[in-house]
Amino acid sequence: MPRTRPPYPPEYRQQIVELVRAGRRPEELAREFEPTAQIIRNWLKQADLDEGRRHDGLTTAERQGLARLRRELRQAASP
């Protein structure tokens, strides 16, 4: 069974995103730090969505609201 690690703290993710925006490549940061280049690209995309730089996905607030509504729907549907 693959090991899972606790999520990275938001501050850590934000620092990595800022490094990418400052010109560092995700592949370079992946070699220097622990997350993979794909994870770093995902963080960058989510930060861009949250800040209104992109509009091709859900913001973090929208994702949290959707998860809350799905939970409420499951609870209402269960006997």
Q: What pLDDT, in 10s, does the model give residues 42-66?
A: 999 999 999 999 999 999 999 999 9
**Into how many domains does the chain fold?**
1
Residue 46 belongs to some domain of the structure: yes
Residue 57 belongs to some domain of the structure: yes
Residue 20 belongs to some domain of the structure: yes
Residue 45 belongs to some domain of the structure: yes
Residue 5 belongs to some domain of the structure: no
Residue 2 belongs to some domain of the structure: no
Cα 48 from Cα 59, distance rounded (Å): 9
Cα 45 from Cα 54, distance rounded (Å): 8
CB-based burial, 33-55: b 16+ in 10 Å, e otherwise:
eebeeebbeebbebbbbbeeeee
Query: What is the band of 4 on the pLDDT scale with cuts at 50, 70, 90?
Result: confident
Average pLDDT value over all residues in the chain: 95
Per the structure, the complete domain to which residue 37 belongs is given by: 10-77
